[in-house]
Structure 1
Amino acid sequence: MSLTVTAATGNLGRLVVQALLDRGVPPQRIVAAVRSPEKAADLAERGIEVREADYSRPETLRAAFAGTERLLLVSSSAAGARTEQHLNVIEAAEDVPHLVYTSAAYADSVPIAMNAEHAVTEEVIRESGIPFTILRNNWYLENLTGNLGRALESGAIVGAAGEGRLSSASRADYAQAAAVVLTEGDRHLGLTYELAGDRPFTMLELAAEVSRQSGRDVAYRNLPQAQYAATLAKFGVPEVFAAMLAERDGAIARDEFVVRTGELARLIGRPATTFAEAVSAALK
């Protein structure tokens, strides 16, 4: 039986596939379930079976999941459409022995718009009767370091997080955790993991680290939440998503995304990637 990874051509999905291979899973046992199979040609060349699986087209899903022992549902990036898409996947996965879902930190206890669809998905999974594991991934470090070029040009990292702290880790860390659960299976059934970096940090600390490593002065410029949303929209972020990002920063300002479970490090068997390491990788 196969280990199936949805969204396997996405940023996280590809890393999960690689993490499975690194753990010794034969490529013939991995199924890459993707919306556009032509984008997975490189995976097929490595001996991985590629199947079409479009969250918005339920007719593609049952065939994609046939013979699956464990299924990783990588959450959709389509904010506002996630719930319907995820429900399509869950319905098609009713016969899958183990469903693993990548959710968001504190999905059911931090009531922000970015968490709402994850909370609904988790509830549906629990009510479905499908054996499950939920991986609540906190914010990716790459979300913070992906625009350092702009920060170096302007001399500022902009946000609305104030002096709040965030427990963040890299995509590769979360991908490795997913691969551990997919390969270890039953010992993780019924569990919900709050996954995050080992040491919370502030955006002020992030800016100071960028300054230290780059040799250029970069400050953290804190804005009111509404102003930050407007700034994001000015740079091309859709208004609805800009508002969600600003609301998330407001929750960070209240320390609502500090996670101290240590579950990510325990799952992957090593310390999580630090923000200093992420800055170094981004500057290269």
Structure 2
Amino acid sequence: MLHADTSTLDLAEEHRVTEAELKASGLAYTILRNGWYTENYTGSIGGALAGGAFLGSAGEGRIASAPRADFAEAAVVVLTGEGHEGKTYELAGDQSYTLGDLAAEISRQSGKDIPYKNLPVADYAAVLAGVGVPEGFAKAIAGWDAEVAKGVLFDDGKQLSALIGHPTTPLADSVAVALQG
């Protein structure tokens, strides 16, 4: 998890524990702290198109996500390369965006007006539960979004693109793939 040592996301605790156990084990290790997968958001494009808006609770929080393929490529580089032992990499996309930016990109590519609607956490959780997301998970997703508003998914260190040797996949490309799917 991106910035697992300082992240306020509740998911970070298990990552902190795992990292501590790796370091204490005496084994060789390299820690890849993956940021959010772009697919975490592009998976909601169909619902946004059907509902006429992209919903969330992230406010103007910046997200430096990348698609799973970029993170997988970084793992291959580390697993097959040398000089990574004992290092921790903060992996995030090169370009950050807000959910408003994502909604604008969906609008641009789909030709439909899809605004971003920032909802209070409880309201967003209720909407998610209303479309079939289990209540506990709906609350978790909405809570994570609220943390996004505080910057937990932002990183501009470009360690991911440095590892893979090229820029990370732009948001526009990920949106295009999702719209084709």
TM over 0.5, shorter chain? yes
Given the alignment of the two structures, is residue 198 of structure 1 paired with residue 94 of structure 2, yes or no? Answer: yes
Aligned residue in 2 for 1:142: 39
TM value normalised by structure 1: 0.61
Query: Which of structures 1 and 2 has the bigger CA Rg?
Result: 1
Specify the alignment match of 2:152 in structure 1. 256
- SS of the residue corresponding to residue 166 of structure 1 reads coil
The answer to whether residue 19 in structure 2 is matched with residue 132 in structure 1 is no
RMSD: 1.1
Report Cα offsets for 1:244-263 as digits up to 9, x if no partner. Answer: 22221111111222101110
Gaps of 5+ in 1: 1-103
Identify the structure with bigger relative contact order (alpha carbons < 8 Å, sequence gap 6+): 2
Say how many residue pairs are matched. 180
Instruction: Give how far 1:148 is off.
Output: 1.1
Secondary structure at 1:194's aligned position in 2?
A: strand
Matched, 1:182 2:79: yes
Distance 1:129 1:159 in 2: 42
Deviation of 1:127 after TM superposition, in Å, equals: 1.1
Contact 2:30/2:86 (8 A) holds in 1: yes
Task: Please say if residues 8 and 147 of structure 2, whose CA atoms lie closer than 8 Å, have aligned partners that are also in contact.
Answer: no
Q: How does 1:66-145 map to 2 (within 5 A)?
A: 104-145=1-42
Q: Aligned with 2:116: secondary structure?
A: strand
Partner of 1:266: 162
Residue in structure 2 matching 1:164, options 38, 49, 61: 61
Q: CA deviation at 1:279?
A: 0.4
**1:107 deviation in Å?**
1.1
Indicate the SS of the match to 2:36. Answer: coil
Cα deviation 1:127-173 (Å, max 9, x = unaligned): 11111001011111111111211111111111100011100101000
In structure 2, give the amino acid aligned to 1:211. S
Consecutive unaligned residues in structure 2, runs of 5 or more: none
Partner of 1:88: none
Report the equivalent of 1:26.
none
Q: Percentage identity across aligned positions?
A: 51
**1:57-68 maps to which residues of 2 (within 5 A)?**
none
Q: Contact 1:157/1:207 (CA < 8 Å) preserved in 2?
A: yes
* Equivalence for 1:74: none
Partner amino acid, structure 2, of 1:248:
W
Contact 1:114 1:244 in 2 (8 A): no
Q: What per-residue deviation string (whole Å, max 9, x for no partner) do you get for residues 208-247 of structure 1?
A: 0100000011011111112212222222223332222222
Quick check: which one's strand share is greater?
Answer: 1
- TM-score, normalisation: structure 2: 0.95
Deviations 1:38-66 (A, max 9, x none): xxxxxxxxxxxxxxxxxxxxxxxxxxxxx
3-state DSSP of counterpart to 2:4? coil
8 A Cα contact 1:139 1:168, kept in partner = yes
Kept after mapping to 1: 8 A contact 2:9/2:152: no
Aligned mates of 2:48, 2:42 — CA distance in 1: 9
Which secondary structure state, in structure 1, belongs to the residue aligned with residue 11 of structure 2?
A: helix
Q: Is the 8 A contact 2:107 2:114 kept in 1?
A: yes
**How do residues 177-256 of structure 1 correspond to structure 2 at under 5 angstroms?**
177-185=74-82, 187-256=83-152
